[in-house]
Structure 1
Amino acid sequence: MLGPKRAKVWPGLAVVLERSGLPRVDVMFGGRYWPAVRAFLDRYHHADCELRDPVQQRGPGADARTGGVRPRRGVGRE
């Protein structure tokens, strides 16, 4: 993740990232649950947004012409 030159930075960085939701080291197994770490990093770097279906991002009943935002009734009409 960091590379061999920056590996010494990881312990301090891990403490900071744990405050933001990085899974902690499991005492029984002696490591972090890797799928949860990957999910955290995807959220942290907003990579999970690219994986979703664009229709689901807009929500049900959203209008594709307005970018998923429905105009309010009566707004802009005279």
Structure 2
Amino acid sequence: MKGRILGAAMVVVGAAIIILLVSVLISIIIFVLEAIALLIGIVLIVVGVALLSGKGRMRGPRWGWTPPMSGT
């Protein structure tokens, strides 16, 4: 009887350890994916802001056209 109980206990403990490891792995994967998504979002925001703010500045010298800001 002792052997059976010990075997069953070992199976239960083994299953619990496997479940814990799998859940930890899943949470780590989700965390990494979230970090990647956050980085992509930050990069997109920075690129968008740079494009929006840089449009007026870059157009002038490139096309040889100066914006009508000076009083002359």
TM-score, normalized by length of structure 2?
0.27
When Rg is computed on C-alpha atoms for both structures, the one with the higher figure is 2
Structure with greater helix percent? 2
**TM-score, structure 1 length as denominator?**
0.26
- Greater relative contact order, per chain length (Cα 8 Å cut-off, separation 6+): 1
